[in-house]
Protein backbone atom coordinates (compact mmCIF):
# COMPACT_ATOMS: atom_id res chain seq x y z
CA UNK A 1 0.00 0.00 0.00
CA UNK A 2 2.86 2.39 0.80
CA UNK A 3 4.37 2.07 -2.70
CA UNK A 4 0.97 2.66 -4.29
CA UNK A 5 0.41 5.72 -2.08
CA UNK A 6 3.80 7.21 -3.04
CA UNK A 7 3.23 6.61 -6.75
CA UNK A 8 -0.18 8.26 -6.63
CA UNK A 9 1.24 11.26 -4.78
CA UNK A 10 3.94 11.66 -7.42
CA UNK A 11 1.33 11.33 -10.17
CA UNK A 12 -0.52 14.35 -8.74
CA UNK A 13 2.33 16.65 -9.85
CA UNK A 14 2.15 16.07 -13.64
CA UNK A 15 -1.66 15.87 -13.53
CA UNK A 16 -1.87 19.22 -11.78
CA UNK A 17 0.66 20.68 -14.22
CA UNK A 18 -1.31 19.58 -17.30
CA UNK A 19 -4.64 20.85 -15.95
CA UNK A 20 -3.23 24.24 -15.01
CA UNK A 21 -1.40 24.58 -18.34
CA UNK A 22 -4.49 23.87 -20.42
CA UNK A 23 -6.67 26.22 -18.40
CA UNK A 24 -4.02 28.96 -18.33
CA UNK A 25 -3.77 29.24 -22.10
CA UNK A 26 -7.54 28.89 -22.63
CA UNK A 27 -8.29 31.71 -20.18
CA UNK A 28 -5.43 33.93 -21.35
CA UNK A 29 -6.39 33.89 -25.02
CA UNK A 30 -10.14 34.21 -24.39
CA UNK A 31 -11.58 37.62 -25.39
CA UNK A 32 -12.96 40.03 -22.83
CA UNK A 33 -10.07 39.86 -20.38
CA UNK A 34 -9.41 42.35 -17.56
CA UNK A 35 -7.56 44.79 -19.86
CA UNK A 36 -10.49 44.85 -22.32
CA UNK A 37 -12.92 45.44 -19.47
CA UNK A 38 -10.81 48.26 -18.02
CA UNK A 39 -10.56 49.96 -21.42
CA UNK A 40 -14.31 49.58 -21.95
CA UNK A 41 -14.95 51.20 -18.58
CA UNK A 42 -12.74 54.16 -19.45
CA UNK A 43 -14.27 54.65 -22.89
CA UNK A 44 -17.92 53.98 -22.12
CA UNK A 45 -18.33 54.35 -18.36
CA UNK A 46 -18.50 51.87 -15.46
CA UNK A 47 -21.47 49.97 -16.87
CA UNK A 48 -19.41 48.76 -19.83
CA UNK A 49 -17.12 46.57 -17.75
CA UNK A 50 -17.80 43.83 -15.24
CA UNK A 51 -15.15 44.77 -12.68
CA UNK A 52 -13.13 47.61 -11.22
CA UNK A 53 -9.73 48.79 -12.23
CA UNK A 54 -6.89 47.31 -10.18
CA UNK A 55 -6.46 48.62 -6.68
CA UNK A 56 -9.66 50.71 -6.76
CA UNK A 57 -12.61 50.81 -4.42
CA UNK A 58 -14.97 52.76 -6.67
CA UNK A 59 -15.44 52.26 -10.39
CA UNK A 60 -16.53 55.84 -11.06
CA UNK A 61 -13.55 57.31 -9.18
CA UNK A 62 -11.14 55.00 -10.98
CA UNK A 63 -12.58 55.79 -14.39
CA UNK A 64 -12.40 59.53 -13.74
CA UNK A 65 -8.80 59.18 -12.58
CA UNK A 66 -7.80 57.41 -15.77
CA UNK A 67 -9.65 59.97 -17.85
CA UNK A 68 -7.77 62.83 -16.20
CA UNK A 69 -4.37 61.12 -16.42
CA UNK A 70 -4.79 60.25 -20.08
CA UNK A 71 -6.34 63.53 -21.31
CA UNK A 72 -9.36 61.50 -22.25
CA UNK A 73 -10.33 62.09 -25.88
CA UNK A 74 -13.79 60.49 -26.08
CA UNK A 75 -14.61 59.16 -29.51
CA UNK A 76 -11.04 59.69 -30.79
CA UNK A 77 -9.87 56.69 -28.70
CA UNK A 78 -7.46 56.24 -25.83
CA UNK A 79 -3.89 57.36 -25.55
CA UNK A 80 -1.56 54.40 -26.25
CA UNK A 81 0.37 55.28 -23.10
CA UNK A 82 -2.78 54.74 -21.03
CA UNK A 83 -3.36 51.36 -22.68
CA UNK A 84 0.27 50.41 -22.00
CA UNK A 85 -0.09 51.52 -18.38
CA UNK A 86 -3.21 49.38 -17.88
CA UNK A 87 -1.56 46.37 -19.51
CA UNK A 88 1.44 46.77 -17.20
CA UNK A 89 -0.73 46.95 -14.09
CA UNK A 90 -2.45 43.72 -15.07
CA UNK A 91 0.83 42.07 -16.09
CA UNK A 92 -0.10 41.86 -19.77
CA UNK A 93 2.95 43.82 -20.91
CA UNK A 94 4.88 40.53 -20.99
CA UNK A 95 4.61 37.70 -23.55
CA UNK A 96 2.15 34.95 -22.66
CA UNK A 97 4.86 32.29 -22.20
CA UNK A 98 6.76 34.53 -19.81
CA UNK A 99 3.58 35.05 -17.81
CA UNK A 100 3.03 31.29 -17.84
CA UNK A 101 6.49 30.51 -16.45
CA UNK A 102 6.13 33.16 -13.75
CA UNK A 103 2.74 31.74 -12.78
CA UNK A 104 4.13 28.22 -12.43
CA UNK A 105 7.03 29.43 -10.29
CA UNK A 106 4.69 31.28 -7.96
CA UNK A 107 2.19 28.45 -7.70
CA UNK A 108 4.87 25.99 -6.65
CA UNK A 109 5.31 28.23 -3.59
CA UNK A 110 1.52 28.74 -3.23
CA UNK A 111 1.95 32.41 -4.10
CA UNK A 112 -1.26 33.30 -5.95
CA UNK A 113 -0.75 37.07 -5.85
CA UNK A 114 -3.51 39.62 -5.32
CA UNK A 115 -6.96 39.94 -6.82
CA UNK A 116 -7.23 42.43 -9.69
CA UNK A 117 -10.47 43.93 -8.42
CA UNK A 118 -10.73 43.31 -4.66
CA UNK A 119 -7.39 44.70 -3.47
CA UNK A 120 -6.74 41.58 -1.38
CA UNK A 121 -4.55 38.50 -1.64
CA UNK A 122 -6.04 35.45 -3.32
CA UNK A 123 -5.12 33.26 -0.34
CA UNK A 124 -6.92 35.72 1.93
CA UNK A 125 -10.07 35.55 -0.19
CA UNK A 126 -9.93 31.75 -0.29
CA UNK A 127 -9.36 31.59 3.48
CA UNK A 128 -12.46 33.74 4.04
CA UNK A 129 -14.61 31.70 1.68
CA UNK A 130 -13.43 28.21 2.62
CA UNK A 131 -15.26 27.89 6.00
CA UNK A 132 -18.60 28.61 4.33
CA UNK A 133 -18.11 25.99 1.61
CA UNK A 134 -16.74 23.41 4.05
CA UNK A 135 -19.73 23.96 6.33
CA UNK A 136 -22.21 23.47 3.50
CA UNK A 137 -20.40 20.49 2.00
CA UNK A 138 -19.65 18.68 5.26
CA UNK A 139 -23.07 18.96 6.89
CA UNK A 140 -24.94 18.24 3.66
CA UNK A 141 -22.86 15.12 3.01
CA UNK A 142 -23.20 13.89 6.60
CA UNK A 143 -26.97 14.37 6.59
CA UNK A 144 -27.33 12.56 3.28
CA UNK A 145 -25.25 9.60 4.52
CA UNK A 146 -26.88 9.41 7.97
CA UNK A 147 -30.36 9.26 6.43
CA UNK A 148 -29.77 7.42 3.16
CA UNK A 149 -27.82 4.42 4.50
CA UNK A 150 -30.38 3.36 7.17
CA UNK A 151 -33.20 4.11 4.73
CA UNK A 152 -31.56 2.05 1.99
CA UNK A 153 -31.05 -0.88 4.39
CA UNK A 154 -34.67 -0.70 5.46
CA UNK A 155 -35.82 -0.62 1.84
CA UNK A 156 -33.68 -3.67 1.06
CA UNK A 157 -35.20 -5.61 3.97
CA UNK A 158 -38.72 -4.50 2.99
CA UNK A 159 -38.17 -4.85 -0.75
CA UNK A 160 -41.48 -4.77 -2.65
CA UNK A 161 -43.52 -3.60 0.34
CA UNK A 162 -45.67 -0.48 0.64
CA UNK A 163 -42.88 1.19 2.62
CA UNK A 164 -40.44 0.54 -0.22
CA UNK A 165 -42.86 1.96 -2.79
CA UNK A 166 -43.80 5.16 -0.96
CA UNK A 167 -40.29 5.91 0.25
CA UNK A 168 -39.02 5.53 -3.33
CA UNK A 169 -41.73 7.89 -4.51
CA UNK A 170 -40.79 10.55 -1.95
CA UNK A 171 -37.04 10.45 -2.60
CA UNK A 172 -37.56 10.58 -6.38
CA UNK A 173 -39.76 13.66 -5.93
CA UNK A 174 -37.04 15.20 -3.78
CA UNK A 175 -34.44 14.34 -6.42
CA UNK A 176 -36.52 16.04 -9.10
CA UNK A 177 -36.71 19.35 -7.20
CA UNK A 178 -33.75 21.64 -8.08
CA UNK A 179 -31.85 22.76 -4.95
CA UNK A 180 -32.16 26.46 -5.83
CA UNK A 181 -35.93 26.15 -6.26
CA UNK A 182 -36.24 24.42 -2.91
CA UNK A 183 -34.06 27.14 -1.36
CA UNK A 184 -36.44 29.84 -2.61
CA UNK A 185 -39.43 27.87 -1.31
CA UNK A 186 -37.81 27.50 2.13
CA UNK A 187 -37.12 31.24 2.26
CA UNK A 188 -40.71 32.05 1.33
CA UNK A 189 -42.08 29.67 3.96
CA UNK A 190 -39.65 29.92 6.87
CA UNK A 191 -37.41 32.98 6.47
CA UNK A 192 -39.96 35.78 6.58
CA UNK A 193 -40.77 35.69 2.87
CA UNK A 194 -44.55 35.42 3.14
CA UNK A 195 -45.38 33.10 6.05
CA UNK A 196 -43.20 32.26 9.08
CA UNK A 197 -40.10 34.17 10.13
CA UNK A 198 -38.35 31.27 11.86
CA UNK A 199 -34.86 31.07 10.35
CA UNK A 200 -32.36 33.81 9.46
CA UNK A 201 -32.16 34.77 5.81
CA UNK A 202 -28.55 35.82 5.30
CA UNK A 203 -25.04 34.91 6.35
CA UNK A 204 -23.41 32.12 8.33
CA UNK A 205 -23.56 33.79 11.76
CA UNK A 206 -25.35 36.69 13.44
CA UNK A 207 -23.87 40.14 13.98
CA UNK A 208 -23.61 39.55 17.74
CA UNK A 209 -21.91 36.15 17.33
CA UNK A 210 -18.76 37.20 19.23
CA UNK A 211 -20.83 38.24 22.24
CA UNK A 212 -22.52 34.84 22.64
CA UNK A 213 -21.31 32.02 24.90
CA UNK A 214 -20.16 28.68 23.49
CA UNK A 215 -23.57 27.02 23.26
CA UNK A 216 -25.08 30.24 22.01
CA UNK A 217 -22.56 30.25 19.16
CA UNK A 218 -23.33 26.62 18.36
CA UNK A 219 -27.06 27.33 18.29
CA UNK A 220 -26.63 30.47 16.19
CA UNK A 221 -24.40 28.66 13.68
CA UNK A 222 -26.80 25.70 13.43
CA UNK A 223 -29.77 28.06 13.00
CA UNK A 224 -28.09 29.81 10.07
CA UNK A 225 -27.00 26.52 8.47
CA UNK A 226 -30.41 24.85 8.67
CA UNK A 227 -32.13 26.10 5.50
CA UNK A 228 -29.12 26.05 3.10
CA UNK A 229 -28.15 22.57 4.32
CA UNK A 230 -31.66 21.23 3.74
CA UNK A 231 -31.76 22.80 0.28
CA UNK A 232 -28.46 21.17 -0.68
CA UNK A 233 -29.19 17.77 0.88
CA UNK A 234 -32.65 16.95 -0.39
CA UNK A 235 -31.61 16.02 -3.94
CA UNK A 236 -28.76 13.78 -2.74
CA UNK A 237 -30.92 11.20 -0.98
CA UNK A 238 -32.17 9.37 -4.07
CA UNK A 239 -28.92 8.11 -5.59
CA UNK A 240 -27.31 7.07 -2.29
CA UNK A 241 -30.48 5.44 -0.94
CA UNK A 242 -30.99 3.38 -4.09
CA UNK A 243 -27.29 2.48 -4.21
CA UNK A 244 -27.48 1.27 -0.61
CA UNK A 245 -30.65 -0.71 -1.27
CA UNK A 246 -29.28 -2.42 -4.37
CA UNK A 247 -25.95 -3.19 -2.69
CA UNK A 248 -27.69 -4.86 0.25
CA UNK A 249 -30.11 -6.75 -1.99
CA UNK A 250 -27.16 -8.10 -3.96
CA UNK A 251 -25.41 -9.27 -0.80
CA UNK A 252 -28.54 -10.71 0.83
CA UNK A 253 -28.99 -13.12 -2.10
CA UNK A 254 -25.46 -14.54 -1.83
CA UNK A 255 -24.63 -18.00 -0.52
CA UNK A 256 -22.94 -16.93 2.72
CA UNK A 257 -26.18 -15.25 3.87
CA UNK A 258 -28.13 -18.44 3.23
CA UNK A 259 -25.49 -20.37 5.20
CA UNK A 260 -25.70 -17.91 8.11
CA UNK A 261 -29.47 -18.32 8.22
CA UNK A 262 -29.10 -22.09 8.22
CA UNK A 263 -26.85 -21.78 11.27
CA UNK A 264 -29.65 -20.04 13.13
CA UNK A 265 -28.35 -16.46 13.18
CA UNK A 266 -30.95 -13.73 13.52
CA UNK A 267 -31.66 -11.37 10.64
CA UNK A 268 -30.16 -8.50 12.62
CA UNK A 269 -26.91 -10.41 13.17
CA UNK A 270 -26.75 -11.40 9.52
CA UNK A 271 -27.45 -7.87 8.34
CA UNK A 272 -25.02 -5.95 10.53
CA UNK A 273 -22.27 -8.50 11.18
CA UNK A 274 -21.97 -10.08 7.74
CA UNK A 275 -23.80 -8.13 5.05
CA UNK A 276 -23.07 -4.59 6.22
CA UNK A 277 -19.30 -4.57 5.62
CA UNK A 278 -19.53 -6.00 2.11
CA UNK A 279 -22.56 -3.98 1.03
CA UNK A 280 -21.23 -0.60 2.23
CA UNK A 281 -17.87 -0.86 0.46
CA UNK A 282 -18.85 1.40 -2.45
CA UNK A 283 -20.95 3.65 -0.23
CA UNK A 284 -18.45 4.43 2.53
CA UNK A 285 -15.42 4.63 0.26
CA UNK A 286 -17.26 7.14 -1.91
CA UNK A 287 -17.67 9.61 0.96
CA UNK A 288 -14.57 11.74 0.11
CA UNK A 289 -15.63 12.10 -3.51
CA UNK A 290 -19.22 12.91 -2.52
CA UNK A 291 -18.04 15.58 -0.09
CA UNK A 292 -15.74 17.23 -2.61
CA UNK A 293 -18.50 17.16 -5.24
CA UNK A 294 -20.94 18.98 -2.97
CA UNK A 295 -18.21 21.32 -1.75
CA UNK A 296 -17.11 22.58 -5.17
CA UNK A 297 -20.02 22.09 -7.55
CA UNK A 298 -23.29 22.11 -5.68
CA UNK A 299 -23.26 25.25 -3.60
CA UNK A 300 -23.05 28.19 -6.03
CA UNK A 301 -26.74 29.01 -6.30
CA UNK A 302 -27.31 28.21 -2.62
CA UNK A 303 -24.54 30.65 -1.66
CA UNK A 304 -26.09 33.35 -3.85
CA UNK A 305 -29.63 32.82 -2.54
CA UNK A 306 -28.60 32.80 1.13
CA UNK A 307 -25.89 35.47 0.73
CA UNK A 308 -23.07 33.12 1.76
CA UNK A 309 -19.60 34.12 0.57
CA UNK A 310 -18.24 30.67 -0.24
CA UNK A 311 -15.81 29.30 -2.81
CA UNK A 312 -18.52 28.78 -5.39
CA UNK A 313 -19.57 32.44 -5.32
CA UNK A 314 -15.94 33.58 -5.23
CA UNK A 315 -15.05 31.56 -8.32
CA UNK A 316 -18.18 32.66 -10.18
CA UNK A 317 -17.48 36.35 -9.53
CA UNK A 318 -13.85 35.89 -10.57
CA UNK A 319 -14.91 34.38 -13.92
CA UNK A 320 -17.39 37.18 -14.58
CA UNK A 321 -14.79 39.86 -13.77
CA UNK A 322 -11.92 37.99 -15.48
CA UNK A 323 -10.03 38.17 -12.20
CA UNK A 324 -7.25 35.84 -13.35
CA UNK A 325 -5.35 35.51 -10.03
CA UNK A 326 -8.53 34.39 -8.26
CA UNK A 327 -9.54 32.11 -11.15
CA UNK A 328 -6.22 30.29 -11.22
CA UNK A 329 -5.86 30.29 -7.44
CA UNK A 330 -9.24 28.66 -6.87
CA UNK A 331 -8.66 26.29 -9.80
CA UNK A 332 -5.31 25.26 -8.30
CA UNK A 333 -6.89 24.59 -4.89
CA UNK A 334 -9.89 22.77 -6.41
CA UNK A 335 -7.69 20.54 -8.55
CA UNK A 336 -5.22 19.74 -5.79
CA UNK A 337 -7.94 18.91 -3.27
CA UNK A 338 -9.83 16.88 -5.87
CA UNK A 339 -6.76 14.77 -6.71
CA UNK A 340 -5.95 14.17 -3.05
CA UNK A 341 -9.57 13.26 -2.37
CA UNK A 342 -9.52 10.74 -5.20
CA UNK A 343 -6.43 9.17 -3.65
CA UNK A 344 -8.12 9.03 -0.24
CA UNK A 345 -11.16 7.42 -1.87
CA UNK A 346 -9.00 4.65 -3.38
CA UNK A 347 -7.18 4.11 -0.08
CA UNK A 348 -10.50 3.82 1.73
CA UNK A 349 -11.43 0.95 -0.62
CA UNK A 350 -8.30 -0.90 0.46
CA UNK A 351 -8.86 -0.19 4.15
CA UNK A 352 -12.50 -1.33 4.12
CA UNK A 353 -11.84 -4.46 2.08
CA UNK A 354 -8.26 -5.85 2.27
CA UNK A 355 -9.02 -8.07 -0.73
CA UNK A 356 -8.77 -4.98 -2.95
CA UNK A 357 -5.16 -4.33 -3.87
CA UNK A 358 -4.54 -1.57 -6.43
CA UNK A 359 -0.80 -2.10 -6.16
CA UNK A 360 -1.08 -5.72 -7.25
CA UNK A 361 -3.36 -4.70 -10.10
CA UNK A 362 -0.79 -2.16 -11.34
Q: Which of 82, 132, 107 is nearest to 313 (CA)?
A: 132
The whole-number pLDDT of residue 66 equals 46
Q: What is the pLDDT of residue 71?
A: 44
What are the residue ranges spanned by the domains of the chain?
31-109, 123-361
CA dihedral over 209, 210, 214, 216, signed as positive or negative: negative
Distance of CA 42 to the CA centre of its chain: 35
Q: Looking at the DSSP assignment, which residues form a beta bridge with residue 191?
A: 197
Cα–Cα distance for residue pair 362/350, rounded to 1 Å: 14
pLDDT in tens, 211-243: 888 888 888 888 888 888 888 888 778 888 888
Q: From 3.60.21.10, 1.10.3720.10, 1.10.460.10, 2.115.10.20, which CATH number describes the 123-361 domain? A: 1.10.3720.10
Euclidean distance between CA atoms 253 and 264, whole angstroms: 17
So what's the pLDDT on residue 137?
80
Write out residues in the chain with pLDDT < 70, as ranges: 1, 32, 37, 41-79, 89, 193-194, 282, 285-286, 288-299, 352-362
Is the pTM for the entire model greater than 0.85?
Answer: no
Do residues 112 and 332 make contact, with C-beta atoms less than 8 angstroms apart? yes
The string of pLDDT tens digits covering residues 96-131 is: 888 888 888 888 888 888 887 787 888 888 888 888
Neighbour count for residue 314 (Cβ, 10 Å): 27
Residue of 50, 86, 84, 48 lying closest to 65 (CA atoms): 86
* Model pLDDT, residue 361: 54
Residue 228 phi/psi, 5° resolution? -65, -35
pLDDT of residue 166: 92
Amino acid sequence: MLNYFIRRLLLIIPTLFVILTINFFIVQVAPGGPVDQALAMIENGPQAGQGLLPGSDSSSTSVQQYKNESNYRGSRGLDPQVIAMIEKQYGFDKPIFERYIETLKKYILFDFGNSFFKSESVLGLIAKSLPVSISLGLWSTLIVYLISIPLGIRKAVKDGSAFDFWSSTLIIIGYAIPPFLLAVLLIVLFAGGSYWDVFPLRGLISNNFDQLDFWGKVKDYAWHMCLPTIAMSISGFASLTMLTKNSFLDEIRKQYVITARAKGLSERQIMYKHVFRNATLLIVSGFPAAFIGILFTGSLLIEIIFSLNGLGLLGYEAIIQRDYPVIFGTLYIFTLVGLITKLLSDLSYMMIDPRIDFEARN
